[in-house]
Amino acid sequence: MVSTALTHGEYHQLSEHLGRVVAPNPGPMTGAGTNTYVIAKDWQRGPVTLVDPGPAIAEHIDRLLDLFGNRLVRILVTHTHSDHSPAAARLVAETGATLIGATPAADAAYQDELFKADQELRDHERLDCDGVSVRAIHTPGHVNNHFCFLLEKDRILLTGDHLMNGSTVVIIPPAGVMKDYIESLRKLLDYDIHQLGPGHGELMDDPKAIVDWTIQHRLQREEKVIAKLGGMGPASLEELTPAVYDDVDSALHFMASMSLWAHLIKLETEGRARQNNEHWQLTP
């Protein structure tokens, strides 16, 4: 296989029907940058579908238009965070491509407020991308309007931010729900998947092992939340975060505190924890 370095703006073919261009938005939450995936059957002349066009960065949008602008017919989005969907607006305006995704609730935080799907996704629906069969799988958790896309012949699952390569996904309540996240991980085990194509980072082999590990990692973190809550007594999110995430760089603690909040809400939903005046404790 050719080199698939995560270099901004370079196009890489990943499989028979899948390619990738990385957006120039590297960072602690985005790794090397957002992966914009490209789906086509006839790479020389045929119609092209993009998955996650990326952030509204002119350099990235210009590159996508140079490469595929005259053949772009369809844009899919896994979800509508600012690093995944905002480039769609200009691409649609310049090409007339059909925008397919799940429009976020009007009051949703941290979402692409301009996003409005031409076609709303339904769970398990099969999309015919000009001869490439793509299965849309609703995977709420990271956010409630998140979908993964399975290229059924290549057996590659485009995971958006449901699974990343090299870092743990942040769950930000209320649109992010930890209980849903873990259930959406288990849901992937029902599908025939050979590789994962994350929204950030390289393709990943052995999907089942990655999904199992990720579920275990979340449940172990939950056990640590319970242990620290038991030891500390009533504690605020700010007090709990450094205790529960003592293995994580403190520069990432604010984002970690969002996932901690999501864990606490899960425990509250299950009757195992409760809060009073923004202090959390275990249910006696």
Q: Which residues bind Zn ion (CB under 5 A)?
A: 81, 161
> Shortest gap between Cβ of 5 and Zn ion (angstroms)?
23
Least gap, CB of 51 to Zn ion (angstroms): 14
Residue with smaller CB distance to Zn ion, 196 or 267: 196
Nearest CB to Zn ion, comparing residues 67 and 185: 185
Nearer to Zn ion, 142 or 266 (CB): 142
Q: How far is the CB of 214 from Zn ion (least distance, A)?
A: 15
6 vs 282, beta carbon nearer Zn ion: 6
CB-nearer residue toward Zn ion: 34 or 95: 34
Q: State which residue, 34 or 241, has the beta carbon closest to Zn ion.
A: 34
Q: Least separation, in Å, of the C-beta of 81 and Zn ion?
A: 3
Q: What is the SS3 string spanning the chain?
A: CCCCCCCECCEEECCCCEEEEECCCCECCCECCCEEEEECCCCCCCCEEEECCCCCCHHHHHHHHHHHHHHEEEEECCCCCCCCCCHHHHHHHHHCCEEEECCCCCCCCCCCCCCCCCEECCCCCEEEECCEEEEEEECCCCCCCCEEEEECCCCEEEEECCCCCCCCCCCCCCCCCHHHHHHHHHHHCCCCCCEEEECCCCCEECHHHHHHHHHHHHHHHHHHHHHHHHHHCCECHHHHHHHHCCCCCHHHHHHHHHHHHHHHHHHHHCCCEEEECCEEEECC
What is the C-alpha to C-alpha distance for residues 3 and 196, in angstroms, rounded to an integer? Answer: 18
d(CA 215, CA 117): 31
Residue 27 C-beta: closest distance to Zn ion, Å = 13
Residues 24, 8 contacting (CB under 8 angstroms): yes
Tokens of 258: 């969002």
Between 81 and 263, CB nearer to Zn ion: 81
| Cβ at position 79, least distance to Zn ion in Å | 6
Whole-number minimum distance, CB 175 to Zn ion, in Å? 10
What is the token pair recorded at 31?
């790794």
Please tell me the distance from the alpha carbon of residue 117 to that of residue 103, in angstroms, as a whole number. Answer: 6
* Residue 239 beta carbon to Zn ion: minimum distance, rounded to whole angstroms: 27
* Shorter beta-carbon distance to Zn ion: residue 80 or 95: 80
